[in-house]
C-alpha cells in the first residue's frame, strides 16, 4: 500500500485521535477538507495545512511550496507563512540541498509567502529526499470556503487540464523510460514544463473574492476523480461528470497512453475544482478566462446516491466511484515501471 491511508483506517485510527478538544477549531481533521480553520479572535481565523511530497524528485522544493499553498488558497485565503521539513538520504550531496532550497525560495517568492522556520535532517533508510511543507494564512471569520459546501444543482468547474502535476513528474522522473518507449523528446520537454502550472492560488482567490464558489478543492493524489470524490464525500453529495468535457493536454494524453495510465486519476495539482451555483457558472468561467486561466464546466452536483462520483466515459461506459480513496496513477507507474526505471538509471551512470 502506498499513498494516503485508506479512509477506513483514517476514521479508525487518525481522525478521532485529536488530543484535547478545542472549541476554537472551526474545521478540524476530516476526509476531504484541505486545511484546518481556527478562530483566533478579533474576527479572524487562522488557516493551516501540511502536505508531504513523496512521489517527485526533480522539482521537490517547487512542488512542496505550491501544493501546500494551494490548499490554503482553496479556502479563499492568501498563503503567508511556510515551514518546510526536509528529509535527506545519507548519500545526499550539498548540490542537492542547494537545489531544493533554491526551489523553495523561488516558489515562495512567486506566491508572496515567507519561510518562517522548519527543520532539515539526514534520515537513515531513504533512497530519495522527502519534503513536508506547512502553509499558513489569515482570513476574516465567516469569509472562507470549505470542501464540504457543495450544493445540489451546482455546476462543477475545473481550471487548466487534468493531470498537470503528474505530467511534470512523469516527464522528468520517467524521462528515459518514455524515450525508450518512443515518446518524442519535444513532448517530454513540454510536459516537464507543466511544473510551472501547479499553482492554483490565483484562480482560487479570484473565485473566492468574487463570491462565486460554494466549494473549492485542489485535486492532488488520486487526480481529478480523487478530488471530485473528496468534494462529494465532504459535502454528502454525488457528483456527475462527463469525460469529454474534461480538458486533457496532448502531452498528458501521450504520456499517459504510453505508460497505460488514466489521466483522470493522475495527480493533478494545478487543476482547481470548484462548485458554483448554476446561474453563476458562466460568470465564473468568464472571470477566469479574462484572467488568462483556462476553465470549463465538466458536470454537476446531485443528491447523494450510493455513489460519490459517476463518470460518463467517452467510450460510452459509466464508471461509478463509491470510495473516497482513489489510488493515484503516479504510484501505479512507479510500481509497473520500477524495473525499467532502474535500468535507465544504471545506463545514465555510464
Whether residues 176 and 193 fall in one domain: yes
Q: Is the pLDDT of residue 348 over 60?
A: no
pLDDT for 59: 87
Residue 41 sits in a domain whose CATH number is 3.30.1330.10
Percent of the chain at pLDDT exceeding 70:
96
Whether residues 136 and 271 fall in one domain: no
Whether residues 123 and 189 fall in one domain: no
Backbone angles phi, psi at 237, to 5 degrees: -130, 175
Q: Is the pLDDT of residue 346 over 90?
A: no
In a domain, residue 12? The reply is no
Residue 314 sits in a domain whose CATH number is 3.90.650.10
Q: Which three cell numbers stand for residue 86?
A: 526536509
Whole-prediction pTM: 0.90
Whether residues 174 and 308 fall in one domain: yes
pLDDT for 336: 85
As beta bridge partners, residue 86 has 120, 131
Whether residues 163 and 41 fall in one domain: no
In a domain, residue 345? The reply is no
pLDDT for 347: 57
Whether residues 73 and 153 fall in one domain: no
Q: Is the pLDDT of residue 277 over 60?
A: yes
pLDDT for 163: 97
Mean residue pLDDT across the chain: 93
Whether residues 104 and 201 fall in one domain: no
Q: 105: which residues sit within 8 A by CB, 6+ positions away?
A: 115
Whether residues 125 and 158 fall in one domain: no
pLDDT per residue as tens digits for the range 208-227: 999 999 999 999 889 999 99
Q: Which three cell numbers stand for residue 217?
A: 478543492
Whether residues 117 and 265 fall in one domain: no
Contact predicate 111/201, CB 8 Å:
yes
pLDDT for 350: 43
Instruction: Quote the number of domains for the chain.
Output: 2
pLDDT per residue as tens digits for the range 184-206: 999 999 999 999 999 999 999 99
Whether residues 155 and 246 fall in one domain: yes
In a domain, residue 297? The reply is yes
pLDDT per residue as tens digits for the range 250-270: 999 999 999 999 999 999 999
Q: What is the domain range of residue 49?
A: 22-140
In a domain, residue 17? The reply is no
Domain boundary pick from 140, 170, 202: 140
pLDDT for 11: 87
The DSSP H or E segment spanning 164 is helix 164-173
Q: Point out the least confidently predicted range of 78-82, 113-117, 186-190, 335-339.
A: 335-339
Closest CA to 129 of 155, 107, 154, 103: 103
Amino acid at each position: 500500500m502506498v499513498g494516503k491511508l485508506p479512509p477506513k483506517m483514517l476514521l479508525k485510527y487518525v481522525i478521532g485521535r485529536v488530543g484535547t478538544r478545542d472549541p476554537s477549531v472551526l474545521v478540524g481533521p476530516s476526509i476531504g477538507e484541505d486545511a484546518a480553520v481556527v478562530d483566533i479572535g478579533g474576527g479572524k481565523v487562522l488557516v493551516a495545512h501540511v502536505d508531504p511530497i513523496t512521489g517527485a524528485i526533480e522539482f521537490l522544493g517547487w512542488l512542496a511550496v505550491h501544493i501546500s499553498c494551494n490548499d490554503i488558497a482553496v479556502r479563499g485565503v492568501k498563503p503567508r507563512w511556510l515551514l518546510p521539513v526536509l528529509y535527506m538520504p545519507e548519500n545526499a550531496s550539498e548540490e542537492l540541498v542547494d537545489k531544493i532550497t533554491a526551489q523553495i525560495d523561488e516558489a515562495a517568492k512567486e506566491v508572496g509567502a515567507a519561510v518562517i522556520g522548519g527543520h532539515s535532517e539526514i534520515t537513515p533508510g531513504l533512497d530519495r529526499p522527502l519534503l513536508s511543507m506547512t502553509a499558513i494564512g489569515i482570513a476574516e471569520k465567516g469569509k472562507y470556503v470549505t470542501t464540504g459546501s457543495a450544493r445540489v444543482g451546482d455546476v462543477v468547474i475545473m481550471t487548466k487540464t487534468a493531470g498537470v502535476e503528474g505530467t511534470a513528474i512523469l516527464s522528468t522522473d520517467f524521462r528515459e523510460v518514455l524515450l525508450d518507449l518512443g515518446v518524442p523528446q519535444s513532448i517530454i520537454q513540454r510536459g516537464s514544463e507543466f511544473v510551472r502550472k501547479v499553482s492554483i492560488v490565483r484562480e482560487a482567490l479570484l473565485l473566492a473574492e468574487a463570491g462565486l464558489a460554494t466549494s473549492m478543492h485542489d485535486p492532488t493524489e488520486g487526480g481529478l476523480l480523487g478530488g471530485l470524490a473528496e468534494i462529494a464525500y465532504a459535502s454528502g453529495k454525488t457528483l456527475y461528470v462527463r469525460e469529454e468535457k474534461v480538458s486533457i493536454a496532448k502531452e498528458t494524453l501521450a504520456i499517459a497512453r504510453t505508460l497505460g495510465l488514466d489521466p483522470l486519476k493522475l495527480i493533478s495539482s494545478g487543476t482547481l475544482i470548484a462548485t458554483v451555483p448554476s446561474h453563476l457558472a458562466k460568470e465564473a468561467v468568464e472571470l477566469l478566462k479574462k484572467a488568462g486561466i483556462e476553465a470549463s464546466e465538466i458536470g454537476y452536483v446531485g443528491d447523494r446516491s450510493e455513489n460519490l462520483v459517476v463518470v460518463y466515459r467517452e467510450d460510452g461506459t459509466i464508471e461509478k466511484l463509491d470510495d473516497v480513496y482513489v489510488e493515484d496513477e503516479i504510484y501505479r507507474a512507479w510500481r509497473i515501471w520500477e524495473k525499467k526505471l532502474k535500468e535507465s538509471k544504471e545506463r545514465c551512470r555510464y
